[in-house]
Each structure stands twice: as structure tokens, then as C-alpha cells.
A and B are shown apart, each in its own frame.
Chain A
Amino acid sequence: MHDFNPGLDNGLFWTVPVPTNSVNVGASGKASLVVNNLVMEDYFNIVNALKDGAVSGTNPATVSFQIHWAQGGKRINVRDPATGMAGEFVKNSATMSWSVASPAGVIYQSGPEKTSASIASQVGQERNGVFFR
């Protein structure tokens, strides 16, 4: 059993900085996120992951993935005072491929990106916190 995620640093939930060239955003919702060899941890199971490894420790792993959001789709405007966010988004579709490697050489990988199925996706501009207006 394996559970890979980047941990809970600074209270951020499974959110990590990535190189600035990892993201490209084009017109009408087209975008990509491509990350190679991101250091993560294998938490083995979700409970251990949510407790940041306090139950059974972690093992290192590296993850590479690419996601492409397609151009076009329904445009929506969102304003949610309850959470303090607003944004303009394009509801589109996305595809993904990934691989995970442990230092011992165990590799897991997805099928080809074109075989993945988009359940829901969106790309747009958001402002929250002090930028919410």
C-alpha cells in the first residue's frame, strides 16, 4: 500500500512550490502543468498521510506528471463571500500522465495521457484573501 503526497508544511494541504516554468497558461482555458522529479513522501496510507507520518513514518519518492487543459469551454464568473474568493474560469477538459519512483527503483506509471478521462476541470483567474473584492 502506498500513498504519495508532499506533506503539510506550513499548514498547506499537499501544496508545494514548483518551478515557475512548470505552468503555462494560454487563451480560453488552455494550460499545462508539467513537473519532473518532485520530491514527495510515501505515507503508505491515508490516515498516516493526514497525520503527516506520525503513525508509521514515511519513505521518499519522486513524482513526475503532466496535465494539459484543453482550450475552450463554458465561461463562468464566481464570487463567493463565504470563502472570500472570486474568479473567472473556463470549464474545460484535461488529460494527465504521471510516474512515481522510489529510491529502490519501484516504478508506478499511468497509461498514455491520451487515454486518461477528464471528469471535471477548470482554468481561470482567481483572487482571494486580501485580494478578494
Chain B
Amino acid sequence: MNLGNQGSSFGHAHFWQRAALSRRNFLGAAGGALAAALSLPAVVRAASDTLPNPIPGGTDLFSLLGLGPGPIFHLFLPGLSPEMSTITDFNGFLGAAEILGSWSGGPVTPPAGSQFDADMRFMAGQYIGGDGRHRQGVFAFV
């Protein structure tokens, strides 16, 4: 999610450009942790030795962000390609959404008009893992 006071014009090439830094940047000041300790519930570990393989091809995000040419990252951005899956050899349900909204928190008050900008996706179904075996799984692009 990107948090900022950006506009809301649509287009996913615009999405990363609009994000200025990235869709997951949280524009908050460092330091100033909350005094109260936070008790976190049991954690879901994102780990697997049977991961799927990434889609072939993708996007040069460094170039898209104006940082010069870089490696290809294995995703396509909405509006630039119909392929929203980030995993290949996949057969199942896919959901994708770009969502804007308000946010708060951290040690500083967000500037007026600040909003998050999230590109979220899921892939649920059959895939072929890196070990070549057919598997079932659920994956989130976060």
C-alpha cells in the first residue's frame, strides 16, 4: 500500500508513478514507537518449499519509476496486460483489485488528504510447483 496525498486517476502505469515511491510506502516519520507494548497473536508464517514458479516476463519497475533500466520483475500491471497472476502453470481463481482509502497511525499525523493505494491480488487453485508436482494452493500478491 502506498500512503500519500496523491490523486486518484486510474491507470496502472500511473499507479506506480502516482505512488511516487511504491504502492506500499508508508509515509510516516521514523521513530517514536508507541509506549504501550503490543501483544501480537499467533503469526502466519509465509513459507513453503513447494512454491510455484513466477510468470515468464514482466515489468522493469526501475525504469517505470524513472530509475533507469533494471531487471524484469515477474508481474504485469493492470491496464498494461491482462495477465494479473504472478505465478505460472496456474489454473484456478484469481482476484485483483486496486483500492484507495484513508489511513492513520504511526508516530505522526498523516497530512490532510493522505490515502493508501493498494494493488492486491489472490490466486487460488492448481499449480505446478518448483519441484514439478501438481499442487493446490492459495497465494496472495501483497
The interface of chain A, by Cβ under 8 A from chain B, is: 1-6, 9-20, 22-23, 25, 31, 33, 35-40, 45-47, 49-50, 62-63, 65, 67, 69, 78, 80, 83-85, 87, 89, 94-111, 115-131
- Which 3 pairs of residues, A with B, have the shortest CB-CB distance? A129-B89, A116-B101, A46-B22
In the bound assembly, the distance between CA atoms of A12 and B142 in angstroms comes to: 11
Q: Interface size (B, Cβ < 8 Å)?
A: 90
Judge whether B141 and A14 touch: CB under 8 Å: yes
Q: With contacts A96-B97, A98-B1, A115-B102 known, is A20 near B74, CB below 8 A?
A: no
* Residue pair A65, B120 in contact (C-beta under 8 Å): yes
The answer on a CB contact under 8 Å between B86 and A15 is: yes
Q: Which one of A12, A18, A37 has the greatest number of beta carbons of chain B within 10 Å?
A: A12
Given A35-B140, A45-B25, A106-B33, A18 contacting B44 (CB threshold 8 A):
yes
- Ordered by A's residue number, 16 sampled pairs between the chains whose C-beta atoms are within 8 Å are A1-B28, A10-B52, A18-B46, A20-B138, A37-B43, A39-B43, A50-B62, A83-B83, A99-B105, A107-B106, A116-B101, A119-B8, A123-B93, A126-B94, A126-B123, A128-B83
Q: A10-B51, A23-B124, A69-B95 are in contact. Are A5 and B10 (CB under 8 A)?
A: no
Query: Complex Cα distance A105/B120, Å?
Result: 25
B interface list, Cβ under 8 A from A: 1, 3, 8, 10, 12, 21-22, 24-28, 30, 32-34, 36-38, 40-48, 51-58, 61-62, 65, 67, 70, 73-76, 78-79, 81-107, 116, 118, 120, 122-124, 126, 128, 130, 136-142
Known A-B contacts A96-B99, A108-B106; the reply to A128 vs B88 at CB < 8 A is yes
Q: For the complex formed, measure the closest distance between the CB of A3 and the CB atoms of chain B, giving whole angstroms.
A: 5
B70 cross-chain contacts in A, Cβ below 8 A = 50
CB < 8 Å: which of A46, A102, A111, A127 contacts B102? Answer: A111
Q: Are A100 and B26 in contact (CB under 8 A)?
A: yes
A6 to B92 alpha-carbon distance, docked (Å) = 22
| Contact indicator B85/A126 (Cβ below 8 Å) | yes
Known contacts: A10-B51, A12-B86. The answer to whether A37 contacts B10 by CB under 8 A is no
Bound together, the chains give a CA A117 to CA B92 distance in angstroms of 27
